[in-house]
Structure 1
Amino acid sequence: MKYLILILFSLTFLSGIGQNQIIDSESKEPVSYAYIKSINKLKGVISDYNGFFVLDSSFRALDSIIISCIGYNNGHFAVRDIIKNKAVELNPSTQNLSEVMVTAKKMKYQRKNLGITKKPKKTRFPDYVSTGKNGEEKATWIPNEYSVPGYLKNINVYVSDLGYPDAYFRIHVYACNEFETKPDKELTKSNIIASATTGNEWVTIDMSNEHIQVGENGCFIGIEWFDSPKSKFHLDTIFNNGQTWDENKSEYKDTIYSRIRKGNGAVLGAIYQKYRHSRNKHWQNNSDGQMYSYLMDSIMYTTATFPDGNTYLRTPDNSYQGVMCINIDVSFPKNKIDLTYNEPKKRKLNKLEKVKQNLFKYPQNNIHELFASLIKAFENDDIVYVLKYLCVYKEDQLNQILSEFVDEENEDYISDEEKDTIVKNLSLFKSKFDSAVLTKIDDKHFQLSVDNEIYNIIIDDGLWKINPYGYSIYK
């Protein structure tokens, strides 16, 4: 009897948990896709586009919940209060006005487009990239080929006709870490929701009011998926045209692949890029909410097998990775992007020795990669590569370096002892990156310092380089 009473009491309590709506405390407008989580549990739900949500039986009467959404202060509520008051208010967060101050100085600006502007082929469907579960987020790195800061105006996202084109998704913008190519601080301050209509179309999101500055290393555009109200859990088979390598004829042959599509929201367009160019571009959040990148470095130059049984050697040029079709419109100061930087070293070093650039072996997309490439190149005895592609210097400095090289082809440019010293100094400096300070000198020149050690570095055409006459590298 006692057990029956407890059951009846629980059913009575749960029957009081109905549909609630989250609204803006000032405008009284619905807050779309807010997160509702219990303090004592990992359990959580997401409100819909109109701010409605339902607490299920896992939320107890004495539990407190946290409601959060970008652009709003987190709200703490008791479940009993939620039951009594069907409308739940969130307070908009106050933006730091000093961050959006615009200088009064007159300056001419020019808009440039960064990212992927091509429409994807209908037959290509990298499903692991272009769709996601409810609340899942994936991000794409947009490099800044002009290497000067600019202001984000629009984000353009290609939505295909697969899945549910009219399903909503949320936009996130992240700064690129100064030292590594990875998402850093989130720059969006508002709850920006977008959707397409029928699909196979570019969706443009106006970002002017966010006053976001795109840095020298570019930025990351994140897409957070939400299920369509019309969706049903499905497992559809999609047939795509593809190609495999015919070892006997040394050519590609047409093949039909079957792919499994999962998800209940929008499906973005995506293209395949060679891994040499797509590395570090695709990121997604894990169960802890942290972003991670799917890297294929460990399987490069290993043997792989096609579905038909043929084998091939994976390389950065025959391995492909899906990248979402996202591009951004950025407003740059016109006089800054018109500047060209001519490196006097290229002409002279090409006469000395013809060395081709290899950005996969020696990447320079960020400061961390630059120092890792310097260390690796010195260890591999690629001294000319270091001077030609990883370094930058004035004309008189180049002449001094060249004068120190011997004319005999069989002799090393620098001794093993000197190389060991350089590698040791660079490795020691790199190990202190957590406490490093990056100081901007002008649009392209920076000073990297730790304690009393200083390196002069430059970014040009999206690549970082170092002055070899900086502290301790060439002593």
Structure 2
Amino acid sequence: MKNTLLLFVCTLVTQIITAQNINLQISDSETKEPIDFAIVLLPDHKKSFVSNEKGIFMIDTNKYKLPLKVIVEQFGFELQEITLQNATSVYNIFLNPATEVLQELIIPPANAKIKERTYGRTNEGSGNIQGQMNRFDNENKDSGSEFGLIIKTNDHLKRLKKVHWHINGITFKRAIFNLQFYEVENNKPTKRIPHSEINFSINENQKGWLVLNTENKDIYLDGTKKIAAILKVQKIEFRKGENEGNLLMNVGAATSNIITLRSNIYEGWESGPMNYPFYITVDSYE
């Protein structure tokens, strides 16, 4: 009898705790398809998060009390602001596609000479410091943290061909990243350059140079001698029984390209004279 009563109490407590979680389902208002890795902002708490690949994000209302202001946005869509008033299990949020053109049609100059060039740091070791470039745990794995390199290029039109990133190892199971390019002012990213989405994953066996072929995406970079190549964390999966992990890379002092990062959207970009092995290969129209 005592065991039965204890089981009933435990089940009741579990149901009460579960009821405090609100699932946001974020979808495209036109297609009704889920929007993967949408940005979820809690402005009153200065927190930013990323939904999963099915457009779902869970809010713990034990931690973030109702009523709760929530802003949902994604590149290419109009942002939407709502206030969660009660602990409904699921809130369906539909984002409207943005009216402006995301990526203008670019026609390379007909008479230009095409030269293949590389920009960034191509050396993976040699006198650099191997360290924990990023540490992830349950507090920051969904925060949408971003890090990257500010890279010196030229001022010609450039078509992105490949992206190269050297990783010494990871101590979590799997991660999904999004690569974004920004214009730069005062050594900090400013305006995002419109281009096709570049999502990719790495797993616990990843080591050495990771090469992303982007030739079929028709991504053009122009108008600045500096660009920021930013890696945004979309999702982290820890190993079974663990709740933290590290991304390992060789970090070294920089003479030109520098590291920039921020822990979430509400934090300012921090830049410093360091870099890590990362470079891009482009066709430069000269």
Return the TM-score normalized by structure 1. 0.47
CA offsets 1:15-50 (integer angstroms, 9 cap, x no match): 174434323334444333323233544355432233
**1:249 maps to what in 2?**
none
- 1:100 match: secondary structure: coil
**2:69 maps to what in 1?**
64
CA offsets 1:135-187 (integer angstroms, 9 cap, x no match): 2211212212x55342333322233332236311221211133xx44323211
**2:150 maps to what in 1?**
141
Q: CA, structure 1 residues 151+289, in 2 after alignment: closer, same or farther (shift >3 Å)?
A: farther
Do residues 233 (structure 1) and 233 (structure 2) align?
Answer: no
Determine which structure has more spread, i.e. the larger CA radius of gyration.
Answer: 1
Q: Give runs of ≥4 in structure 1 deviating > 6 Å.
A: 11-14
Do residues 164 (structure 1) and 164 (structure 2) align?
Answer: no
Do residues 50 (structure 1) and 60 (structure 2) align?
Answer: no
User: Shift of residue 92 of structure 1?
Assistant: 3.2
**1:325 maps to what in 2?**
277
Bigger relative contact order (CA 8 A; separation at least 6): 2
**Which residue of 11, 35, 42 maps to 2:39?**
35
Contact 2:22-2:87 at 8 Å conserved across structures = no
- 2:174 match: secondary structure: coil
Runs of 5+ unmatched residues, structure 2: 1-11
**1:291 maps to what in 2?**
269
More helix by share: 1
**2:78 maps to what in 1?**
73
Matches within 5 A, 1:375-394: none
Letter in 2 for 1:172: Q
With 110-119 and 80-89 compared, the bigger mean Cα shift is at 80-89
User: Shift of residue 270 of structure 1?
Assistant: 2.9
Q: CA, structure 1 residues 191+97, in 2 after alignment: closer, same or farther (shift >3 Å)?
A: closer
Q: CA, structure 1 residues 55+130, in 2 after alignment: closer, same or farther (shift >3 Å)?
A: closer
CA offsets 1:261-299 (integer angstroms, 9 cap, x no match): xxx36x2533424x4x15x6111126643212235xxxx
**Which residue of 68, 88, 95 maps to 1:90?**
95
Runs of 5+ unmatched residues, structure 1: 1-7, 235-263, 296-320, 337-475
- 2:130 match: secondary structure: coil
Contact 1:169-1:224 at 8 Å conserved across structures = yes
Seq. identity, %: 18
Letter in 2 for 1:71: G
**1:445 maps to what in 2?**
none
**2:6 maps to what in 1?**
none
Give the whole-Å Cα distance in 2 for the aligned partners of 1:81 and 1:35.
21
**Which residue of 269, 278, 281 maps to 2:258?**
281
Q: CA, structure 1 residues 20+176, in 2 after alignment: closer, same or farther (shift >3 Å)?
A: closer
**2:181 maps to what in 1?**
173
Give the whole-Å Cα distance in 1 for the aligned partners of 2:270 and 2:23.
35
**1:187 maps to what in 2?**
193
Q: CA, structure 1 residues 55+155, in 2 after alignment: closer, same or farther (shift >3 Å)?
A: same
Give the whole-Å Cα distance in 1 for the aligned partners of 2:215 and 2:74.
18
Contact 1:154-1:207 at 8 Å conserved across structures = yes
**2:226 maps to what in 1?**
218
Contact 2:174-2:236 at 8 Å conserved across structures = yes
Do residues 269 (structure 1) and 259 (structure 2) align?
Answer: no
Give the whole-Å Cα distance in 1 for the aligned partners of 2:33 and 2:149.
31
Give the whole-Å Cα distance in 2 for the aligned partners of 1:283 and 1:189.
20
User: Shift of residue 194 of structure 1?
Assistant: 1.6
More strand by share: 2
Q: CA, structure 1 residues 14+217, in 2 after alignment: closer, same or farther (shift >3 Å)?
A: same
Q: CA, structure 1 residues 91+270, in 2 after alignment: closer, same or farther (shift >3 Å)?
A: farther
Give the whole-Å Cα distance in 1 for the aligned partners of 2:108 and 2:230.
29
Q: CA, structure 1 residues 272+98, in 2 after alignment: closer, same or farther (shift >3 Å)?
A: closer
User: Shift of residue 196 of structure 1?
Assistant: 2.2
Q: How many residues align?
A: 262
- 1:96 match: secondary structure: coil
User: Shift of residue 90 of structure 1?
Assistant: 2.4
Matches within 5 A, 1:409-428: none
**1:111 maps to what in 2?**
116
Letter in 1 for 2:249: G
User: Shift of residue 192 of structure 1?
Assistant: 3.4
Contact 1:36-1:67 at 8 Å conserved across structures = yes
Letter in 1 for 2:243: F
**1:463 maps to what in 2?**
none
Do residues 99 (structure 1) and 104 (structure 2) align?
Answer: yes
